[in-house]
Structure 1
């Protein structure tokens, strides 16, 4: 098949996987209301579904013997997602919300407002997860992803989720379950599985045709494609007035990717072939939530991100691309 046809397959498969995730999202949203979870705690809970395309891609890549695609997807999606979603959320929030005078202050001061609780509930625990990944994979004696590492990371996600729920509980509400939505959820699960298979299959063929390594394909093809559909979800949630929920969900998604999506790659034992490429990418995976935490903590009366801080996020990703092109991959 022509490379352009595989690119088309990749795009359709990514859309199908995220459509499936959207169908699974409604039942979990209902559970969130029933259990009385706050926006930050709810984001950690809902991430089980919103990050499911990345998890499914890594399961498929491990099963097909191309775990480097999954490793690249794990790193690449976690680097681009925070600057991309924060930028999208900022522009989506530049509108007036009805009966919300407080939001007018955010507009006047050009701030993307966030609940400061998101630092303790989401971003700091996520930084802890990244530190744990570094500890398990960077030392020479432990280098690579091994089965024991996978079990440790699954336990880390259980702790992350429990911490988020305990820190963010309030009184629950009664909800009514819809049979139609349950069937749509089943269809969604199938769409995720089929979409993930074709994302990996398309990436395999594209990297083969372009003669690039699987991990690079995972970083810049699979990782970007699995993240891109989230743009529409973030835009729609923030534009609907749920600014904190729409912006913080990316942290929860990344936590799932670095733990649950880590597991299948570790289970089949994924070696680190290019150590410089791995540690450089892992460093930027950690830099993004570090900036997130520092900026929110630094903010005073109105917690969140100012315009110049949004620019720093985007500049950090551009610096990452330049380092990859000129110093790590040495394409020029």
Structure 2
């Protein structure tokens, strides 16, 4: 069991570091290509912080651990809202000022509801994966529309977050980060599945907890750093954008590579928690005056996440 634990810890450390390098390289490359800061924030940075989840799902699906891949996608969304936003809001309240973000949060809710329709029959196959991929393409199109229609919006915080890199250096970190992401994801999946086998815990639970929290570390680091700098829209937008990518891209991976049949508990417990937290986020972020997530509400999100972990523990002991 020692080697799987070492592999898990090493995988997490390399994963977080390489995800940061990948985001810097991807954002720098996109900026050199002429993309606007807002669009880079909504697409490249959100995709970059979701890259660990995508790579872990690819590795899990190709090694016969499809349940781990689905658990990773749902668990990461639960962790992003309950853990990442909860901690971030406790550090600095998150007012919702950006017009683009007010459009992106309802889009996350729509994508989450679509995922429920895909998972309703407890089978994730190629048709389901294609539907999710098409929804991702639709989201990317809407992101560009949102950005185009947001001229004059008062929020330009994203520009401070986009690195100034020469094109050659940006491409180097883009490629190097991706290679290290792939290697560390493989190491992490091997360590997690070996630990699961040793403890008699299912791949699904490992994906929902250990792997989901580990692959959510880039979102936590990025959101806390942004909140401490006063860039609250970036902190919230990073999580919302990443959750959209998790559902539309990460969850599609096992359907494309190795279709699986899911247990009923995935629908009512794990997807139900994902939908419930997404509805709560939408209500907190948009339907208050002024729209915000306060420290109290951050504590509420964190308590909800702790309750979910307690439920998982009680059902597996």
TM-score higher than 0.5: yes
Q: Deviations over 1:181-232 (max 9, x none)?
A: 3212211111010011011100111001111111111111211211134322
Other-structure match for 1:134: 116
* Residues 1:260 and 2:239 are matched in the alignment: no
2:252 matches 1:270: no
Which residue in 2 is equivalent to 1:21? 19
Contact 2:66-2:260 at 8 Å conserved across structures: yes
The range that moved more, 69-78 or 26-35, is: 26-35
Match of 2:78 in 1: 79
Alignment equivalent of 1:115, drawn from 93, 97, 102: 97
Aligned CA distance change for structure 1 residues 204 and 176 (closer, same or farther; 3 Å) = closer
Match for residue 296 of structure 2? 308
Secondary structure of the residue that 2:142 maps to in structure 1? Answer: helix
Report which of the two structures shows the higher radius of gyration computed on alpha carbons: 1
Counterparts of 1:311 and 1:204 in 2: how far apart (Å)? 32
Q: How is 1:1-332 mapped onto 2 (pairs within 5 angstroms)?
A: 2=1, 4-30=2-28, 31=30, 34-38=34-38, 42-93=41-92, 111-115=93-97, 117=99, 119-139=101-121, 143-169=122-148, 170=151, 177-267=166-256, 268-272=258-262, 274-301=263-290, 303-326=291-314, 329=315, 331=317
Question: Structure 1 length normalisation: TM-score?
Answer: 0.83
Once the two structures are TM-superposed, the CA of residue 91 in structure 1 deviates from its matched residue by 4.2
**Structure 2: tracts of 5 or more residues without a match:** none
Q: For 2:141 and 2:128, how far apart are their aligned partners in 1?
A: 20
CA–CA distance in 1 between the matches of 2:298 and 2:143? 25
**Whole-angstrom distance in 1 between the partners of 2:316 and 2:175:** 45
Q: Are the aligned partners of 2:100 and 2:147 in contact in 1 as well (CA < 8 Å)?
A: no
CA distance in 1 between partners of 2:90 and 2:294 (Å): 12
User: Equivalents in 2 of 1:29, 1:155: separation in Å?
Assistant: 24
How far has the Cα of 1:321 moved from its partner? 2.5
Q: Give the TM-score of the pair, scaled to structure 2.
A: 0.87
What is the total number of aligned residue pairs between the two structures? 303
Tell me the CA shift for residue 37 of structure 1. Answer: 4.4
Q: CA deviation at 1:276?
A: 2.1
Give secondary structure in 2 for the equivalent of 1:115: coil
Q: Answer whether contact 1:121 1:164 (CA < 8 A) is retained.
A: no
Deviations 1:235-287 (A, max 9, x none): 22222232210222011111111111122200211111x21243211011111
Q: State the Cα deviation string for residues 100-155 of structure 1 (Å, max 9, x = none).
A: xxxxxxxxxxx42222535543221111111111112213xxx3100011011001
Q: Secondary structure at the match of 1:51?
A: helix
Aligned CA distance change for structure 1 residues 286 and 176 (closer, same or farther; 3 Å): same
Question: How far apart are the structure 2 equivalents of 1:80 and 1:91?
Answer: 15
1:69-110 Cα offsets, whole Å, 9 max, x none, are 1111111111111122223322443xxxxxxxxxxxxxxxxx
SS at match of 1:299: coil
Contact 1:59 1:264 in 2 (8 A): yes
Distance (whole Å) between structure 1 residues aligned to residue 86 and residue 21 of structure 2? 25
RMSD: 2.4
Aligned to 1:107: none
Cα distance in 1 for residues equivalent to 2:44 and 2:177: 18
Taking the aligned partners of 1:278 and 1:114, their CA distance within structure 2 comes to: 30
Stretches of structure 1 lacking an aligned partner (at least 5 in a row):
94-110
